[in-house]
Amino acid sequence: MGNTSKEIQKIVSGIAISSKLCLTEAGHHKNRQAEADLIDAINQAFALFQINYHNQYFSAFADNKKSEDLAKKLWLSRLSNFSADTICKASEKIISENEYLPTLFVMIEACKATEMPAGVLTARQAYIEACTKPSPKVMQRWSSPIVYLSGRDSGWYLLAHAPEHQALPIFTAHYEAYCKSLLNGEIFEIDLTPDGSDSDPTPASEAVAKEQIRKLKQLFG
């Protein structure tokens, strides 16, 4: 591990200067130190990928610095909502779980997973749990209250009848919001007071249905 660390630092030092010249043009961070930390994290991530996916890496960046710098600039703009520590941990997670050089999408998903509270399901795992639990939903045993709450907020009828490509983004938006609240220390519980709202999935009210359609239009243009 010591030799690998030295090799990463050697590669980082070799690619960091040109990366910083390109990346700092993005100017997305008011805090210069935070921006510097993010740039350093992305440099380290690319260095780690270069070591682990050597042939794939040089195939992807055949024209070397130009395409590499453009990729880093894009990653900085898309990963700016994550901390430098999250980016580093996500890159380590990727090389331990994937045999292929990651796309930006894979990196974003790894960052999201890294920020999840310990033991909390991924959004899709939670979605599957919410869809497969029998009714009445409120009486079932859940891996976490936020899975039930995300299903409730999404609408049980939607989860039961809409195809995954339509229902999952809506569920994910609710679920990720609850995950962020968990990270901020908020505690959630399921209200077991029976109100009949989820005993059987039923069509949403007209107002709720219109809101769901609005969200779908936003998601899919």
Tens of pLDDT, residue by residue over 104-132, are 999 998 888 887 776 788 889 999 999 99
User: Of 86, 115, 144, which marks where a domain is finished?
Assistant: 115
Least confident of 12-16, 23-27, 42-46, 184-188: 23-27
Higher pLDDT, 101 or 183: 101
- H or E stretch at 185: none
Most confident residue range from 1-10, 46-55, 203-212: 46-55
State which of 93, 115, 137 marks the end of a domain.
115
Q: Are residues 168 and 111 in the same domain?
A: no
Tell me if the bond preceding 203 is cis, omega within 30° of 0: no
Range of the domain at 206: 123-220
Clarify whether residues 130 and 107 are in a common domain.
no
Task: Round to the nearest angstrom and report the end-to-end CA distance of the chain.
Answer: 47
Q: What is the pLDDT of residues 21-73, one digit of tens each?
A: 444 444 444 568 888 899 999 999 999 999 999 999 999 987 677 889 999 99
